[in-house]
Chain A
Amino acid sequence: MSNELRKHAACLLTAAVLPIASVAQNLPHDSMDMATALRALILAGSQVIPKESSCDGYYFTIGKATVADMLAVRMSGLDSGSNSVTGRCEGKQCAVEIRHRGGEGREEDVSATTIRFEMRKGVARASTMQCVMTP
Chain B
Amino acid sequence: MPITFSALQASVGKSIADLCPNNFSTPAESHCAHYVSHMLDLRLGLLCGDMAYTTRRSGASIRVDEIYNRLLRKGPWVDCPDCSDGLLIFVTSPQNMTNGVMRSAPAKHVGIHYAGTVFHFSNSLHKVVTDPSVEAFHSKFQRAYGRPDLALYFGAAQ
Contacts and interface: CB of A to CB of B under 8 A. Distances in A.
A100 B28 CA distance: 9
Interface centre among A106, A109, A111, A135 (most CB of B within 10 A): A135
A62 B99 CA distance: 10
Interface in A49-84: 54, 57-60, 62, 70, 73-74, 76-77, 80
B106 A99 contact: no
A135 B30 contact: yes
Contacts of A4: none
A102 B146 contact: yes
Nearest to A111: B106
A59 B140 CA distance: 26
A99 B28 contact: yes
Contact of A111 (B30, B46, B66, B141): B30
A106 B28 contact: no
A78 B90 CA distance: 21
A101 to B, nearest CB: 8
A99 B123 CA distance: 13
Contacts, number: 88
Tell me the interface secondary structure of chain A in the complex.
Answer: loop
B101 A108 contact: no
A62 B101 contact: yes
Given A59-B104, A77-B106, A109-B145, A135 B33 contact: yes
A44 interface: no
30 contacts: A58-B101, A58-B103, A62-B101, A70-B104, A73-B105, A73-B106, A74-B104, A102-B145, A105-B143, A106-B145, A107-B123, A107-B144, A108-B123, A108-B124, A108-B140, A109-B144, A110-B28, A111-B107, A112-B26, A112-B29, A112-B30, A132-B29, A132-B51, A133-B104, A134-B62, A134-B63, A135-B32, A135-B63, A135-B64, A135-B108
Interface of A: 54, 57-60, 62, 70, 73-74, 76-77, 80, 99-100, 102, 105-112, 132-135
